[in-house]
Structure 1
Amino acid sequence: MGDYHVHLHPHVPRPDSPPPGVYPEDYVDAFVETALSRGATEVGFTEHLHRFVDFEPAVAGFWNVGPRADLTEHSRTYYYDDLNLRLDRYVAAVLGARDRGLPVRLGMEVDFFPAHLEKMTAVLRQYPFDYLIGSVHWIDAWSVDHPAVAYEFERRGVRRAYEDYFGLVADLAESGLVQVLAHPDVVKKFGHRCPEEPVDLYRKVVDAARRGGVAMEVSSAGLRYPVGEPYPSPALLRMSHQAGIPITLASDAHYPDQAADQHMELVRYARAAGYRHQLAFRVGGAAHLVALPDPDAAAPTEPTSSEAGR
């Protein structure tokens, strides 16, 4: 039972965070040790694609769409401020942890830039990823989950923002690019909600996920933000279960103490929607289902001395 969405480098470093692109063994190990202590059995590392200089020729300039200079400038600045990792070092760090016997998988969080898929895929194919998760962080030039430009919800309107966002998630689901949809309703991160649950938009995503053969990520990250609930919403998760879409569990950790954050609460959340299994990935990428435990099941008791003698 894995945590399949973990980052080794934060966007905002702490005093004990290593420099970007540096992967001390004890720091990598700390993510795994924390996750195992919280009930996970393996960890999938999934660094952001857009942070790697290797992808700059493939994706740079994705923000040059639309008439909004404020959004374009914010995304350009944010991109280059975060462009500080190298693929060979990241891959070596994760494979090194595996060689030390740790239960880890090599993944990548693939940011969805629709006009750049061919070039992105050409780079991804050069590395031995066990799986890829996909996410929508940008609607054209708007970084939809960045607090500095959250004012765009008011300018655009929440319903239109949701329509634009979920349209891209549906496209991602059918792109053939990834195996998992990461935090599939992160558009709600800051608490912006439609007056009514956008079930019609959820249906488009669920149908696309079924056609595309991708899993839905169930993430505790939303519990750390103003929205105060996991991704996806209960309604979207129930619809996914009814459609037969598998799930993965995730923390979206960016620091060691966030690994497998509230993991057993996620298990309860998934089970409440009807799920009894989670998708897992073997080394090399083969996917298989593993049972979700019942966190509230009574633990077996030790037999008494009289029972033991029967």
Structure 2
Amino acid sequence: MGDYHVHLHPHGPYTGKGPPPGQYPIDHIEAYFETARANGADEIGFTEHLYRCVESRPVLGRWWEADPRKDLREFTNSYVRSERVLSLERYVQAVVDAKDRGLPVKLGLEVDFFPDTVDAVVEFLAPYPFDFLIASTHWLGAWGIDLAEQEHEFDRRGHLRSYEEYFAMETRLAASGHFDVLAHADVVKKRGVKLDDTPTDMYEELAVAAARGGTAVEVSTAGLFQPACEMYPARPLLERFYNHDVPITLASDAHVPQNCARDLSKAIELARSVGYTQRIEFTGRKGTLVPL
């Protein structure tokens, strides 16, 4: 099996553990494989965050500036400035070099979806030799929906409205057809904020959009270790993806070697329980279905 959502640097200030941001020594990459193999994975798809790369500044722009909320704008401006410490060029070269050494790796990237800049982003990324692109919705305007520092916005905005805004954006992402996989499709629940009733209409619209856009979805164990305490996507949402023949990948969303391929057996169990018997692998942006 493969882990198709793995980062090579954690978020936050550098603590001295692991290589400094933007450096990718081969022993660091190999450390991910040691854990992956121990957890039963035989392939890793690395997916660094585009917004964290300095090269993304001109193409993504300052997406938060159009938000009317000054407090959210100021926080996000500071947050992005502190996080944007990686190099896309170095990252791509490191993974390509790992491939050349015979390591079973795929070159991916996690791209945040902003409708106003998505066409420019797609054009910017086209020359790179990516095997696959995953895409996500982390921001609604200047609101970072999965950040603990901005969790209070759920109560200010209202839980239902927050979900409606998130799924509207995620559905646009899925329908765009620009990306290969939806990352943590219901990450809006990460901070533990859930609706009393299952948002079946939102789930259905997202699944239909993914099917029409030719976009797969990852089954990610990352949510098990967050306040949400469940996988992404929730079972009712995954059932709808299955009903619309949306293929799946497996993902840990690891940001450190020791979490690579963590509990992917649970992701397989969930996927099989709703009917999946295959997953999709990517090479050069082309997908191939393989047994789950």
| TM superposition score normalised by structure 1 | 0.92
Residue of structure 1 in register with 2:217 after alignment: 216
Residue of structure 1 in register with 2:138 after alignment: 137
Residue of structure 2 in register with 1:3 after alignment: 3
Tell me the distance in 1 between the aligned counterparts of 2:20 and 2:103. Answer: 23
5+ residue gaps in structure 1? Answer: 293-310
Residue of structure 2 in register with 1:126 after alignment: 127
On the 8 A contact 1:6/1:253 being kept in 2, the answer is yes
3-state DSSP of counterpart to 2:103: coil
On the 8 A contact 2:136/2:185 being kept in 1, the answer is yes
Residue of structure 2 in register with 1:299 after alignment: none
3-state DSSP of counterpart to 2:48: strand
Tell me the distance in 2 between the aligned counterparts of 1:168 and 1:245. Answer: 18
On the 8 A contact 1:55/1:123 being kept in 2, the answer is no
Tell me the distance in 2 between the aligned counterparts of 1:118 and 1:238. Answer: 31
Tell me the distance in 1 between the aligned counterparts of 2:119 and 2:288. Answer: 28
Residue of structure 1 in register with 2:289 after alignment: 289
3-state DSSP of counterpart to 2:128: coil
3-state DSSP of counterpart to 2:81: helix
Tell me the distance in 2 between the aligned counterparts of 1:19 and 1:273. Answer: 41
Tell me the distance in 2 between the aligned counterparts of 1:208 and 1:14. Answer: 41
Tell me the distance in 2 between the aligned counterparts of 1:211 and 1:124. Answer: 23
CA RMSD of aligned residues (A): 1.0
Tell me the distance in 2 between the aligned counterparts of 1:160 and 1:39. Answer: 40
On the 8 A contact 1:51/1:85 being kept in 2, the answer is yes
3-state DSSP of counterpart to 2:51: helix
Tell me the distance in 1 between the aligned counterparts of 2:168 and 2:274. Answer: 24
On the 8 A contact 2:50/2:88 being kept in 1, the answer is no
1:9-43 deviations in Å (ceiling 9; x for gaps): 11034532211110111111111221122111210
Matched, 1:19 2:32: no
On the 8 A contact 2:180/2:285 being kept in 1, the answer is no
Residue of structure 1 in register with 2:200 after alignment: 199
Residue of structure 2 in register with 1:274 after alignment: 275
3-state DSSP of counterpart to 1:109: strand
Deviation for aligned residue 1:176: 2.2
Residue of structure 2 in register with 1:162 after alignment: 163
Tell me the distance in 1 between the aligned counterparts of 2:215 and 2:285. Answer: 14
3-state DSSP of counterpart to 2:89: helix
Matched, 1:95 2:96: yes
Deviation for aligned residue 1:60: 2.4
3-state DSSP of counterpart to 1:51: coil
AA matched with 2:288: H
1:34-88 deviations in Å (ceiling 9; x for gaps): 1122111210000001011111001121001221111111111111111111111
Matched, 1:82 2:83: yes
Tell me the distance in 2 between the aligned counterparts of 1:37 and 1:210. Answer: 34
Tell me the distance in 1 between the aligned counterparts of 2:243 and 2:74. Answer: 42
On the 8 A contact 1:185/1:232 being kept in 2, the answer is yes
Say which one has the larger Rg: 1
Tell me the distance in 1 between the aligned counterparts of 2:118 and 2:266. Answer: 35
AA matched with 1:5: H
Deviation for aligned residue 1:122: 2.1
1:123-167 deviations in Å (ceiling 9; x for gaps): 201211011000000011100001000000000011100000001
Residue of structure 2 in register with 1:307 after alignment: none
AA matched with 1:7: H
Tell me the distance in 2 between the aligned counterparts of 1:291 and 1:71. Answer: 44
> What number of residue pairs does the alignment pair up?
291
1:182-229 deviations in Å (ceiling 9; x for gaps): 000000001101110001100110010011011011000001101110
3-state DSSP of counterpart to 2:63: coil
